Structure 1
């Protein structure tokens, strides 16, 4: 009996101790916490989240090899490209990630991987816009929309990514003409965030607006904003001859990564069916894993065919997109 107890004690003391995983995130930690809790419950590995609102690439460069961060989580291809350009992340060779994440939703060098997607759609007034009236992004330049469009700043990352899509499909000169025409169709000077545009539709200031899909879920979760949300419906425009513009939330492993093995475990967990369902449900986003279930609310918005252009290619057009929006004085 004594020998058995001694063996048990020796076995316990010899059991490997898992290191924590440290994440720098530009997303509010409460948006990520439910899926992180599921990972810890399954693996016993604790995860520490540090919210970094601005200057993430600069912080990682300043910390260098001393950085405690194993992973970075952020949204939008522009932010992902910034950390690539800063040379602060490392490639990750994982059959699990490669199988789960479509090629156009990850870095060609496996430097970052998308976890969820969101579509850049049109919120349309239920009362003043007929179903099927919104068709393509190109159509937003049609004079029929004069005085009817609201949007946030044209130089916000979300809109620059959309303009990058216009450039990818049609070229810079077309994009400039398109931006000028859309500007002429604005009901007011660009201001506020995506939810503010829906409020403007509800108030009768405009009839359609550009926005990300997940804001519908956020508005319906807010008692004050539910009335705004119910005044519009989601329409999924497409690029002519292509699909609906999407962007991503994504993850990457830092060069420093003191807990590389545990960090990889977390990355692979985040693309599992269970984690994808949790992540998408909590944030009203679309899973990257094809077999993962949509939340009932998101599924109710309808289906769409996503544009399959590489997000890395879109990131390559960002400087041109910014130049286009500044040259047409879109926010002026």
Structure 2
């Protein structure tokens, strides 16, 4: 009897150890390489973990460094997901054969086809519109209606912009190539360069701040920078927004240019099922509202979700329907074109 009990005890002990080992080896987790660095993102990740029990492990870095790391690691990479801004960045990761299709009914239902990869290797999780900001003291909003108007001689010495090789401007130029062709777009870029009030410099907030103090009259900016200034708890930020207005260009034509924050599923994802759950959560009403109203002030991609404060609902605007995969395809052409135009 004692022998039997001893054997049973050993069996139970072995079974317990096996279960513990299995639990450790199969711990519920998802590994994210992210080129986004917003505290609000971490809050969303923490809520996902709380709701699902799936731990989110995040490695942050710049998009090029993370892309190179993913390429070095190949299918042995621990990464399940690659998150970054700009559709062209997502297309480049796909072009390097580092991603695989996202099999998700939520993605197919929530995200319009032009806002995701044609093969579903990546999808948009939020949107940002690139618009024309203007100094309220100097410009009436009906004076400029399209991106193309920035080339008009009336804006000589009045245009502000960051450098042409920044993804925000590269994406816009790529969209203009798609709409107007390379020759007309190069003529446009040369004229805009000639109309600049100063050498391209700084970020989008710097352009808005310059408008507020009377330097220049119009500038290119992403919408969320304005929204953050307007909703800031700092009086000096709100003072900038009070002196600046936004024009959503080309409402009589193709619509305003948008770009994305997006997520791609890595080719060797070791936690694929958890990764899909995480993508679905990022597209949930809860996460979408958090991005729009509690974090980055980007536009939600899911319809019917509250919009960022201080901005019109994107659903009320005409948006360029260009498939965003084209931004990746035309990226190199856009960079070369801007260089030839002298926009540095």
Q: What TM-score results when the alignment is normalised by the length of structure 1?
A: 0.91
Q: 2:160 aligned to 142, 147, 150, which one?
A: 150
Aligned to 2:186: 176
Task: Provide structure 1 residue ranges, at least 5 long, that are not aligned to the other structure.
Answer: 1-9
Aligned to 1:191: 201
Give the Cα–Cα distance (whole angstroms) in 2 for the partners of residues 142 and 319 of structure 1.
26
Q: 1:234 aligned to 241, 246, 255, which one?
A: 246
Give the C-alpha shift of residue 35 in structure 1: 1.6
Contact kept? 2:44, 2:287, Cα under 8 Å: yes
Q: 1:248 aligned to 239, 260, 281, which one?
A: 260
Aligned to 1:69: 79
Give the C-alpha shift of residue 226 in structure 1: 2.6
Give the C-alpha shift of residue 121 in structure 1: 0.4
Relative to structure 1, the CA distance from residue 188 to residue 306 in structure 2 (aligned partners, 3 Å threshold; closer, same or farther) is same
User: Is 1:105 matched up with 2:89?
Assistant: no
Aligned to 2:229: 219
User: Is 1:162 matched up with 2:172?
Assistant: yes
Give the C-alpha shift of residue 227 in structure 1: 2.0
Relative to structure 1, the CA distance from residue 302 to residue 88 in structure 2 (aligned partners, 3 Å threshold; closer, same or farther) is closer
User: Is 1:311 matched up with 2:320?
Assistant: no
**Partner secondary structure for residue 128 of structure 1:** coil
Give the C-alpha shift of residue 131 in structure 1: 2.3
**Partner secondary structure for residue 190 of structure 1:** coil
User: Is 1:51 matched up with 2:64?
Assistant: no
User: Is 1:36 matched up with 2:45?
Assistant: yes
Relative to structure 1, the CA distance from residue 125 to residue 47 in structure 2 (aligned partners, 3 Å threshold; closer, same or farther) is same
Give the Cα–Cα distance (whole angstroms) in 2 for the partners of residues 186 and 304 of structure 1.
28
Relative to structure 1, the CA distance from residue 204 to residue 297 in structure 2 (aligned partners, 3 Å threshold; closer, same or farther) is closer
Q: Give CA deviations for 1:98-118 in whole Å, capped at 9, x if unaligned.
A: 111000000000000000000
Give the C-alpha shift of residue 302 in structure 1: 9.7
**Partner secondary structure for residue 50 of structure 1:** strand
Aligned to 1:284: 297
Q: Aligned runs of 1:290-301 on 2, under 5 Å?
A: 290-299=303-312
Aligned to 2:343: 330
In terms of mean alpha carbon deviation, does 212-221 or 164-173 score higher?
212-221
* Cα root mean square deviation, aligned: 2.0
Q: 1:23 aligned to 17, 29, 32, which one?
A: 32
Relative to structure 1, the CA distance from residue 231 to residue 29 in structure 2 (aligned partners, 3 Å threshold; closer, same or farther) is closer
Q: Give CA deviations for 1:265-308 in whole Å, capped at 9, x if unaligned.
A: 01111111121111222110111111222133334899421111
Q: What TM-score results when the alignment is normalised by the length of structure 2?
A: 0.88
Give the Cα–Cα distance (whole angstroms) in 1 for the partners of residues 251 and 175 of structure 2.
8
Give the C-alpha shift of residue 29 in structure 1: 4.7
In terms of mean alpha carbon deviation, does 319-328 or 29-38 score higher?
29-38
Aligned to 1:4: none
Contact kept? 1:201, 1:207, Cα under 8 Å: yes
Length, aligned pairs only:
320
Aligned to 1:81: 91
Give the Cα–Cα distance (whole angstroms) in 1 for the partners of residues 257 and 308 of structure 2.
20
**Partner secondary structure for residue 322 of structure 2:** coil
Give the Cα–Cα distance (whole angstroms) in 2 for the partners of residues 302 and 288 of structure 1.
10
Q: Give CA deviations for 1:205-237 in whole Å, capped at 9, x if unaligned.
A: 101100000101332326243322221011111
